[in-house]
Chains A and B, each alone.
Chain A
């Protein structure tokens, strides 16, 4: 009986030693894998953050979790996860490039179209301001709303242009979309035809 207990204890000790030894043996490769993953991420996150900030933020969280696992000694888990992370980090630039192309296309559309809408609204507002009375389907209150919508649209368009000039394409597109929506609302209020591309 006593011999059996000693045997079981020995097996347990050896197993524990082997487990620890194997885990420790993975520490170096795990460290290298994390380093490679972090380098891949650092190489692309700056550019990627301009176009796909949410993805970058998500990967930041994943990297932090990986480091935490490493600190806790879960080296065997860390190695494959770090390799997978590095692949994702390498793909960030391609994803950012695709997003940049999409934003550039959208910006070009807005840049060509939105000023025309704003100019058309301004022209109509100028005409209505000269009018002795408003058309049947337009109340003074609605006309006032359209005028304030136009003013807000012009102000926001200036901001969109500033963002574009500063290289903040995502902000520029977001502001331009908001201007387009305001312009559509003003055109509808004034009973104007809304361009097909803006609907």
Chain B
């Protein structure tokens, strides 16, 4: 249990919660300065995203 707590406490996965007006391109611009890197974000979230143009408000996306 203590080990599990330690794992969670140090979880360094980076997330972005989708808000109104967000697109993967804009998110990539925000974190990398370059919108064309949106594909990397899409790849990192393929388990929850089917289409890079279809993201939903409130979704938590992993940011590599």
Would B10 and A114 count as touching, CB distance under 8 A? yes
Would B32 and A113 count as touching, CB distance under 8 A? no
A119 at the interface (CB under 8 A from B): yes
A198 at the interface (CB under 8 A from B): yes
Per the bound structure, the CA–CA distance linking A113 and B9 in Å amounts to: 8
Per the bound structure, the CA–CA distance linking A175 and B36 in Å amounts to: 39
Would A120 and B6 count as touching, CB distance under 8 A? no
Partner of A131, one of B9, B12, B37: B37
In the bound complex, residues from chain B placing their C-beta under 8 Å from that of A133 are 33-34
Partner of A119, one of B12, B32, B34, B40: B12
Would A112 and B13 count as touching, CB distance under 8 A? no
B side interface size, CB within 8 A: 22
Number of A-B contacts (CB under 8 A): 77
Closest to B32 in A: A131
Would B33 and A112 count as touching, CB distance under 8 A? no
Q: How large is the interface on A (under 10, 10 to 19, 20 to 34, 35 or more residues)?
A: 20 to 34
**Known contacts A130-B37, A131-B33: A124-B10 contact under CB 8 Å:** no
Please report which residues of chain A, range 101-133, place their CB below 8 angstroms from some CB of chain B when the two chains form the complex. Answer: 105, 108-109, 112-114, 116-117, 119-121, 123-124, 126-128, 130-133
Please report which residues of chain A, range 148-199, place their CB below 8 angstroms from some CB of chain B when the two chains form the complex. Answer: 187, 191-193, 195-198
* A-B residue pairs in contact (CB < 8 Å), sample of 27: A108-B3, A108-B6, A109-B9, A109-B10, A112-B6, A113-B9, A114-B10, A116-B11, A117-B10, A121-B12, A127-B31, A127-B37, A128-B32, A128-B33, A130-B34, A130-B37, A132-B33, A132-B34, A132-B36, A135-B29, A135-B31, A192-B12, A193-B14, A195-B10, A195-B12, A196-B9, A197-B9
Give me the 7 closest cross-chain CB pairs, A-B, nearest first: A113-B10, A197-B9, A120-B12, A131-B34, A135-B33, A131-B32, A116-B12
Residues of A at the B interface (CB closer than 8 Å) are 105, 108-109, 112-114, 116-117, 119-121, 123-124, 126-128, 130-136, 138, 187, 191-193, 195-198
Residues of B at the A interface (CB closer than 8 Å) are 2-3, 6-15, 29-34, 36-37, 40, 64
